[in-house]
Structure 1
């Protein structure tokens, strides 16, 4: 994926472009003014990231954080990286890589100020707005390990290493399409069996 992003950059970016926007095709819902809103932070930040959640069926909780690759670095993760080989990649969500990072998704308050900003160190790839100068200065999406990270998270690490700033918008939320996970399908199956066994009241 990193190679694909870099190839697209090399072929598509023009001298007159000021911004580059990366957006997954399976975003289901986002504010109509998302680009203008995020560009408003361009005077202070080089990369801007919204929060990404996904809707769930009511019986599965109604909604859920989706993108956990946007985070604030932690001392624990930095210590962990020092114990790893150069080619090892830290992946969020696995027991062997307990990073204790603050994830943008979990900072969200649905009634919070959409203009509130937190500074990020890693970014997810669902929705990234970056100044074109970020890439002209040499930042890219590493298709190799960079500081024990790869692709979009490595892009975050790289931009920070280059002295750039990343804005995370914890209360400005876009919505990813709902795709049942294996756990969701198991829960749905249990609910269906319960319904057949006990009737609609259960």
Structure 2
């Protein structure tokens, strides 16, 4: 799978960037070190000036790629969800049994991510840490309606609807499939956050994974309907 991913080009909405960062070494350096710096200091304290100092580039050079840090954060989120979508499609394509397919899909969107090393300028495990902490901020913003109209969350929504289709295969009579799946995808980020920072209010720990919880939840809910 790593070989396939390395040969797969992830595409991101071109309205998110001024110049495609994947087309130059500086652009790839911006992506690589923005991930590392946001993980290190948090998105609130992240600035293009600090990133420029980190990579030895003028701040103005960064604005040639991204209009602002909000667009950069959505770009990173879109890249992440596009990568997850590819993994999801690849992992579930040849599974016949709907419930087995659903378990695999839930695993893909809820599991702890390891860096697969196939894309040198993107550390997926660190990007996953950023998504856990920061992704909700891209949704809960004053710009959300305009960003949604621009199609910035199409991949994220597509992942949810792909899993909704599988839920409908498992139980076509369940009427809350979209709410259930969106709760799982978003909620899994929150459970990872709680496990890492406020473990006294989650059952997820070293022996019970976030994936364990959500597979138990979805199979129990669908079985009882």
Larger RCO (CA within 8 A; separation ≥ 6): 1
Higher fraction of strand: 1
Higher fraction of helix: 2
| TM-score normalised by length of structure 1 | 0.28
